[in-house]
């Protein structure tokens, strides 16, 4: 699903872009907000989630680059549409995805949208490879591997302990979760999977029992059978 914002002060050009945009995205375009001035566009982008910004640079004497100075600009793709080709270098310095020079053909605009689709698909694929999804309150929440401290078995469920101190219960067994994780994780015990990047030291307890110190203060069990493997990994 795509939520787009169009900032264009030429009404005829705005209608053309709207038409091409709806054609390119079809039913996946859930919203297309259009603004002909900078201030309301800035406010909308600050307050609402955006996937794609279609941006004219010259807006009634104001610069569209003001939008690209927002901290939110990294959360969406930007395609600049401008008649001033000299702005292209500056636009790419701001990290825009594409620069479409006016006047442009339908094919050139569709090519820019296809580039956005490819970048979005690549980003989604990378996120799938580096995160776990869980259902929460009727929605899907994505938890990045880098935010996980360790995981703990809880019957047929797995409890995810995050670096922030928050805990989340996922309806998957440890075995199935382990299959989704990458090489940054290690099963230290039948009931625990740890994030190797968070290991501070191996703790030796009484009776040849071991634990792993993670983060600032979390202590997780380490089985004797896995002690040597972890020690070798840590060098």
Question: Tens of pLDDT along 101-118?
Answer: 999 999 999 999 999 999
207: left (phi over 0), alpha (psi -120 to 50) or beta: left
Q: What is the mean pLDDT of the chain?
A: 90
> What is the spatial distance between Cα 215 and Cα 199, in angstroms, rounded to a whole number?
7
pLDDT at 198 (0 to 100): 94
Rounded-to-10 torsion of CA 93, 98, 104, 106: -170
Residue 124 has pLDDT above 80, yes or no: no
Q: Under the phi-then-psi rule, with left for phi > 0, alpha for psi from -120 to 50, and beta for the rest, what region is 137?
A: left
Share of the chain above pLDDT 70, in %: 97
* pTM, 2 dp: 0.60
pLDDT band of 164, cuts 50, 70, 90 = very high
For residue 126, the model assigns a pLDDT of: 66
In degrees rounded to 5, what are phi and psi of residue 141?
-110, 135
Rounded distance between C-alpha atoms, residue 28 and residue 184, angstroms: 35
Q: Would you state the pLDDT for residue 108?
A: 96
Q: Find the mean pLDDT for residues 33-55.
A: 93
Say yes or no to pLDDT of 188 above 90. yes
Residue 206, pLDDT score: 74
Identify the band that residue 125 occupies on the pLDDT scale cut at 50, 70 and 90. Answer: low
The answer, yes or no, to whether residue 31 has pLDDT greater than 90, is: yes
Pairwise CA distance, residues 72 & 41, whole Å:
13
């Amino acid at each position: 699903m795509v939520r787009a914002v169009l900032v264009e002060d030429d009404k005829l050009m705005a209608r053309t872009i709207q038409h091409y945009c709806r054609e390119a995205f079809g039913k996946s375009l859930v919203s297309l907000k259009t603004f002909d001035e900078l201030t309301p566009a800035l406010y909308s982008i600050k307050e609402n989630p955006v996937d794609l910004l279609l941006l004219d640079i010259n807006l009634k004497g104001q610069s569209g680059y003001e939008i690209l100075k927002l901290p939110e600009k990294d959360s969406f793709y930007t395609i600049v549409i401008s008649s001033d080709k000299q702005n292209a270098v500056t636009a790419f310095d701001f990290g825009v995805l594409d620069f479409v020079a006016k006047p442009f053909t339908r094919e050139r605009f569709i090519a820019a949208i296809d580039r956005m689709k490819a970048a979005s698909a690549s980003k989604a694929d990378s996120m799938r490879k580096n995160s776990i999804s869980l259902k929460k309150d009727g929605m899907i929440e994505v938890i990045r591997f880098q935010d996980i401290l360790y995981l703990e078995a809880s019957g047929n469920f797995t409890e995810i302990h995050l670096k922030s101190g928050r805990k989340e219960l996922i309806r998957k067994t440890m075995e199935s979760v382990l299959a989704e994780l990458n090489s940054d994780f290690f099963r230290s015990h039948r009931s625990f999977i740890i994030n190797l990047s968070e290991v501070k030291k191996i703790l030796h307890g009484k009776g040849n029992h071991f634990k792993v110190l993670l983060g600032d203060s979390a202590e997780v069990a380490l089985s004797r059978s896995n002690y040597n493997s972890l020690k070798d990994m840590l060098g």
